[in-house]
């Protein structure tokens, strides 16, 4: 299934609240950023600390157009933590970092507007 990133696209199909609860979206703090030159599209390799039992997880994120590595360190972001890991080249992405498309289609990260505990779940 391909999801449109277009702001004018219609809402997706209706789901139940139980379906929503199956998607585990948590907040974590980016603790390491590395270039990912092997990726097909420009990306960073992120290490994100979700605290508690989740700990540090890795993610490949195509966010190079709007963020430099120094802008990302210490930043809290949201990610789906219960998708299966995905192999991207030699890198295993463990979580899906979330964002929205800007007017040019580049990613703007989804993050809380105030600090919250790492591992906090979206509800």
Pairing label, strands 91-93, 96-97: unpaired
Whether residue 119 is contained in a domain is answered as no
pLDDT of residue 89: 87
Whether residue 71 is contained in a domain is answered as yes
35 in Cβ contact with 23 (< 8 Å) = no
For 26, counting Cβ atoms within 10 Å of its Cβ (0-12 exposed, 13-18 middle, 19+ buried), the class is buried
The token pair at 115 is: 């600090």
Radius of gyration of the chain from Cα atoms? 15
Whether residue 47 is contained in a domain is answered as yes
Whether residue 10 is contained in a domain is answered as no
Structurally, the chain folds into a number of domains equal to: 1
CATH number at 63 reads 2.40.50.140
Give mean pLDDT in consecutive 10-residue pieces for the chain, a chain of 123 residues.
65 93 97 93 96 97 96 98 94 97 95 97 93
Question: Please, which residues bridge with residue 88 across strands?
Answer: 91
Q: Which of 107, 106, 111, 82 is nearest to 96 (CA)?
A: 82
pLDDT of residue 24: 98
Domain that holds residue 26: 18-109
Q: Which of 89, 63, 86 is nearest to 75 (CA)?
A: 63
pLDDT of residue 39: 87
Q: Is 41 helix (H, G, I), strand (E, B) or coil?
A: coil
pLDDT of residue 96: 97
Whether residue 64 is contained in a domain is answered as yes
pLDDT of residue 1: 43
Whether residue 22 is contained in a domain is answered as yes
Whether residue 42 is contained in a domain is answered as yes
Whether residue 3 is contained in a domain is answered as no
């Amino acid at each position: 299934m391909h999801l449109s990133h277009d702001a004018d696209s219609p809402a997706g199909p209706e789901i139940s609240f139980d379906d929503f609860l199956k998607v585990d979206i948590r907040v974590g703090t980016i603790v390491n950023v590395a270039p990912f030159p092997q990726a097909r599209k420009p990306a960073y390799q992120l290490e994100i600390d979700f605290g508690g039992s989740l700990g540090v997880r890795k993610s490949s994120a195509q966010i190079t157009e709007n963020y430099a590595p120094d802008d990302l360190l210490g930043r809290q972001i949201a990610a789906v933590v219960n998708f299966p890991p995905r192999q991207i080249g030699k890198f295993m992405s463990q979580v899906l970092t979330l964002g929205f498309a800007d007017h040019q289609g580049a990613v703007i990260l989804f993050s809380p507007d105030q600090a919250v505990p790492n591992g906090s779940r979206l509800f």
